[in-house]
Amino acid sequence: MILDRLVPVDGALPGALLTEITELYAANRDFFALSGDFPDPYDIRVEQVAVELARELKHPDAEVLLARSEGELVGIAITLAHHPDPADPDPWIGLLMVAPQRRGYGRQLAGLVEQRFREAGRTAVKLAVLQNNPRAMAFWSALGYLMIGQREDRAKGRPCAVLRKEL
pLDDT tens, residue by residue, 148-160: 999 988 778 889 9
Task: Quote the pLDDT of residue 101.
Answer: 79
Task: Quote the pLDDT of residue 102.
Answer: 77
Q: Where does the pLDDT of residue 165 fall: very low under 50, low under 70, confident under 90, or very high at 90 and above? A: very high
Domain limits, the chain: 2-166
CATH architecture of 2-166: 3-Layer(aba) Sandwich (3.40)
Question: Is the full-model pTM beyond 0.95?
Answer: no
Mean pLDDT value across the chain = 94
- Specify the range with the lowest mean pLDDT, choosing from 2-11, 60-69, 112-121: 2-11
pLDDT in tens, 18-66: 999 999 999 999 999 999 999 999 999 999 999 999 999 999 999 999 9
Task: Quote the pLDDT of residue 77.
Answer: 98
Which is nearest to 53 in space by CA: 91, 87, 92, 97?
A: 97
Q: In this model, does residue 93 exceed pLDDT 80? A: yes
